A and B are shown apart, each in its own frame.
Chain A
């Protein structure tokens, strides 16, 4: 099968491309660096030729509210338009658990816009809503750092390994389109600050994590359970502890 992975050079994209190639599929890793750009449209039409499945794992280069909205809307329209013309049979996208209830946050509004475009496109689709990647925890700590302290919320948090995410993406991409969303998450549930605390300790980072008790995420107020799946979700195999171990080995 011919599969195009948009954002194929990204964290999840690389792994998805590798896993799909492993399974013998003809995979095109689409990203500006490979000459496929969903914003300018460069290389898009050619990449879509005879493509069966498109997996959108791209991310906006800027997370500023307007920029990220512009990115997901433009990219979404261009990509879906090209897919319709090429007769693509399955569109898979990676979204975020709780995206619909965190609409006070700019990034979430943009991801929601992306989802809406997909639902309206008429292309058979599967939307995979994931919790945060383990790889993302360092970033969360950084944005919450004040001097030597990391002020973080105690909202519920159930991060997942990018390998698991990639495996789920591959599984759902190769399956029949659900024309619906499904949720994936890590195997364990924590309070957000605990995870960051453990991560920094493990990395021998001198910063101190302080639970601020505020239910918030990236500066926006959220409910305590906003970031974790509400109902049934596919759970990843790699635990946070296991992942930490491999991180040190890689370092």
Chain B
């Protein structure tokens, strides 16, 4: 390589010095010194590129002939140098087609041309044609040559003893660099070096200033932001300064933490409706290979759209961005403290870390503030909403009202479905369904009804968890499905994501559970609503209980009245004969126990009196005995009479009714005429007796019972069983302790005291004074068969009193030939005619005190002559002992 150094040239010039030349040389040095001084002082004033360019253009060009000057800077990062400053106003190469390329090129340092510059101790010049064809020479040499430039003078700019760049001076005149010029350049190179590093420093400072004021502007802009829209405007304004044509999007992490949704954006780059709606309305899964990378990166990231599409071809938004012409994009996470809020995606090709971080810090704060604001507004709304709800609910008195209030609130305002409210029963163990939305599971009615019907306990796994929890639990439907929760299959049918289960509490007391399906519920709202619902339920329960008490009181009242009506009937049982003595013994034997008693006996024998006597002698006597006449009610009503019903259990059941069984709890239930009970009711009765609990008709709740049963009948139940009209199993349950009441005709000795008793009773109530009863009448009473037993006697006495005169009963109207006589079961037994005849004659003789013939005799009653009776007695073997016993 040929090089023309200053020494070689000056050597030529200084070959033959003369005085003149010497003088000239002195002059020259003087001039040189002056130029140097002047330039130096100018150079110290250089602040920016323009100053330096002016200096080259105006000052140096004014002194020497050159075509143009360039400063290049070394980048040690990749060991290159590149144009920094171009004084090319008059430069001939500006018109060269490679000019722009040259301006932006990075020329490698490791080639001989620039290395020789670096190694030269002073500015060094080259003739372009000598070096430009060297294989590694930088192309700008040829470019200059092609535009007529002949020679280049290169000087190395130094900073802290390290090469920082080069000064290139070009001339189109051959031999155009004078010794003086070279010497001057050599002299001012240190000043040019420091001028260049000053310019760099200044530019850096300026850039920093700009960034700072940019961020400052942005921050004051952001400080006024209160809403999403405001944020969008502020970000758009700022980013527009960075990249006027670029768009941006801020995505926010959704509450499920599984996806991000667009928060604010500028999509002005496209007008394609399809793209816009797709981008605006989508939810993007967090782990899509881009968003998760951004969220995990502490620094801004630069992405190449095409490369990311290759990586995750399914990511729709990348395709759209590509269509929008975004080659690259930057992504930065938005973070408040240690919490990721979302990401900022920008249409940018380069990353200025400081600037982006600054922007993101501001955006994050604004976003956090807006979110906090939104939260506050939401909380306020929720609170006022709760207040309204609480007003609604204080007016609630019945379940129906409550149901209406709850459904309105949950469905309309919270997009929540009430699945079920269960309430803890009085026993503190069971939970019954209190309210539920059957329409919630329309396709699964069977399963849901089954579940509703099951009376769970507080120990049930899910219920126990809920009751034990402080503020309720959330069951994720999908997860519960995986865990094999049987309920979850049902939940799933609603399409809602979560089941919220909360304890209902009044004070510290659990009163039940509430189950609601929703995608998401505000904890504050749910808590508030549950508190209100709890109170409302407690009120309704109290109301219902009050109603119950009222009803019970009314019913009890009725019974009291009935009791008062019949009080004289059972204060005493009249009769001291042998047969009754046996009955009394049985009563006193059984009264203390809880044993069921079956009282049998013909109609009118006083079975109810016996039942009351048993009750009154039992430990249950403090409570009222409850009586049901099974024959008195139509078969269709007997069950509800006995067991009660829930409202709506059947047509006509407008109200809830407490059954006689429930009423008789802890007391005695007297089932009169049990033989008349329909078979269906018998079955149910049997179940209640066996299980000692019952369910109201149409009810789901079972009620534990402690009831003593006394049944009575005038039928022969064994015959009824044979005929299929009575259940044998029920009979065995009832017939634990049978008491048979003898018919009045078998206790003739009691007829007189009974008659006197009834005379007393009716004399008092009618106000008549009966002083005597004729012996004839008494005799007549004794000889009658009394098919209607004591009751018939009572009625007869009552009638006779009304017909009496002068306080004397002279006659009594015993029905002649009473038809029922033939019906008397005693006479209808399967016996031979002789047997019937024999026993009938004995009966009659007994009633007639053994008198065979004459007035008031058996013969008279039987309407046969005395002789005939005598011979019949002989024939049938009737002796005195038979009728005197």
Contact = CB atoms under 8 A, between A and B. Distances in A.
A82 B353 contact: no
A43 B354 CA distance: 10
Contacts of A77: 296-298
A74 B298 contact: yes
A84 B350 CA distance: 16
Interface stretch (B72-80, B515-523, B840-848): B72-80
Contact of A45 (B76, B296, B301, B354): B301
Interface string B60-94: 00000000000000011111000000000000000
Given A42-B354, A77-B296, A78-B297, A85 B76 contact: no
B161 to A, nearest CB: 15
A10 interface: no
B301 A29 contact: no
A45 B300 contact: yes
A35 interface: yes
Interface string B517-551: 00000000000000000000000000000000000
Given A21-B79, A27-B78, A35-B77, A85 B303 contact: yes
Nearest to A47: B77
Contacts of B307: 85, 87
A249 B76 CA distance: 27
A48 B437 CA distance: 61
B44 interface: no
B299 A40 contact: yes
A86 B78 CA distance: 18
Nearest to B300: A41
Given A28-B78, A29-B76, A36-B77, A82 B293 contact: no
A150 interface: no
Nearest to A49: B302
Nearest to A43: B353
B297 A34 contact: no
Contacts of B110: 21
B351 interface: yes
Contacts of B330: 45
B78 A82 contact: no
Measured as residues with beta carbon below 8 angstroms from the partner, the interface class of chain A is 20 to 34
A40 B354 CA distance: 9
Nearest to B80: A26
A85 B302 contact: yes
Contact of A85 (B301, B353, B354): B301
Contacts of B296: 77, 81
A82 B300 CA distance: 9
Given A36-B77, A40-B353, A42-B354, A84 B293 contact: yes
A78 B293 contact: no
B178 interface: no
A45 B302 contact: yes
B293 A34 contact: no
B304 interface: yes
Contacts of A44: 299, 353
A46 interface: yes
Of B293, B300, B302, B330, most buried by chain A (CB within 10 Å of CB) is B302
Of B78, B110, B301, most buried by chain A (CB within 10 Å of CB) is B78
A244 to B, nearest CB: 29
A34 B299 contact: no
A46 B301 CA distance: 10
B326 to A, nearest CB: 14
Nearest to A81: B297
B302 A34 contact: no
B353 A42 contact: yes
Nearest to A87: B307
Contacts of A36: 77
Nearest to B299: A41
A159 interface: no
Contacts of A46: 302, 350-351
B183 to A, nearest CB: 35
Interface in A145-194: none
A78 B110 CA distance: 31
Nearest to A74: B298
Contact of B353 (A26, A34, A41, A74): A41
Given A29-B78, A40-B299, A78-B298, A87 B293 contact: no
A30 interface: yes
Nearest to A8: B77
Interface string A222-248: 000000000000000000000000000
A47 B75 CA distance: 13
Nearest to A28: B78
Contacts of A78: 297-299
Interface string A52-87: 000000000000000000000010011001101111
B327 to A, nearest CB: 12
Interface string A19-38: 00100001111100011100
Contacts of A21: 79, 110
B304 to A, nearest CB: 7
Contacts of B77: 8, 28-30, 34-36, 47
Contacts of A81: 293, 296-297, 299, 301
Contact of B351 (A27, A34, A45, A84): A45
Contacts of B351: 41, 45-46
Given A21-B110, A41-B353, A87 B78 contact: no
Contacts of B303: 85
Contacts of A86: 302, 304
A82 B303 CA distance: 9
Contacts of B299: 40-41, 44, 78, 81-82
A34 B76 contact: yes
A21 to B, nearest CB: 6
26 contacts: A8-B77, A27-B78, A27-B79, A28-B78, A30-B77, A34-B75, A34-B76, A35-B77, A36-B77, A41-B298, A41-B300, A42-B353, A43-B353, A44-B299, A45-B302, A45-B350, A45-B351, A46-B302, A49-B302, A74-B298, A81-B293, A81-B301, A82-B301, A85-B302, A87-B304, A87-B307
Given A40-B299, A77-B296, 16 more contacts: A21-B79, A21-B110, A26-B78, A28-B78, A29-B77, A34-B75, A41-B298, A41-B353, A46-B350, A49-B302, A74-B298, A81-B296, A85-B293, A85-B304, A86-B302, A87-B307
**List of 7 A-B pairs having minimum Cβ-Cβ separation, nearest first:** A41-B299, A45-B302, A34-B77, A45-B351, A81-B297, A42-B353, A41-B353
